[in-house]
Structure 1
């Protein structure tokens, strides 16, 4: 039985709403300042999410507030090393993480994360 145009519109609306809700659930509010681009931010966030979940037993981060602690330029003026602080909140608790990002010889960025007390 073919789907009528009205039903197609309703189906599309439901699919769109589900995608928006799923997107909201997996992407918390991010505020503050960071040197990360969207790809690096996603990679750092994914690692922090695993760390936060293991420590707090919370799988739902609601907010991340980042701040730049220090920047070290390379001789050509690009950022060689950046240290940031990410305040992560979820499930009524929060943790602070130190994120150290270092440029490598291939033009990529290596990062490490440690929890701060």
Structure 2
């Protein structure tokens, strides 16, 4: 009898863990244009989600629409700086954010996110 209860507990724990991980893996659909790749987009989205949640009391983003406002190129042709506008929708609300991206000396990208009104 004890073994059966232990197995049920283990099974329930595994199902709960899988459900939790699936929820964390959710990413809202993106539309529009962006200079970000999937890894950078996820990093920026974490910051955008934090601002959106704080401003709207909503933790569920349903869509992100991005536009490129400006791009600066280095003499070699690579992107040195870009500014994007991210329109975020969720819980019946829409907010707009300015995302600034700059390449650094290590070949990585630094970014900042701010609210646009």
Instruction: Please state which band the TM-score falls in when normalised by the shorter chain.
Output: 0.7 to 0.9
SS class of match (1:45): helix
> Cα deviation per residue 1:41-62 (whole Å; 9 max; x = unaligned)?
0000000000100111000000
Distance 1:104 1:65, change over 3 A: same
Q: Structure 1 stretches (4+) deviating beyond 4 angstroms?
A: 17-21
Q: TM-score, normalised by structure 2?
A: 0.80
- What pairs with 1:1-117 in structure 2 (closer than 5 Å)? 18=19, 22=23, 26-117=26-117
SS class of match (1:51): helix
Shift of residue 75 of structure 1?
1.1
- Kindly tell me the number of residue pairs found equivalent between the two proteins: 103
Which structure 2 segments of 5+ residues have no match?
4-14
Q: TM-score, normalised by structure 1?
A: 0.80
SS class of match (1:77): coil
Which structure 1 segments of 5+ residues have no match?
2-13
Shift of residue 22 of structure 1?
2.7
Over the aligned positions, Cα root-mean-square deviation in angstroms equals 2.0
Shift of residue 20 of structure 1?
9.5
Distance 2:21 2:90 in 1: 20
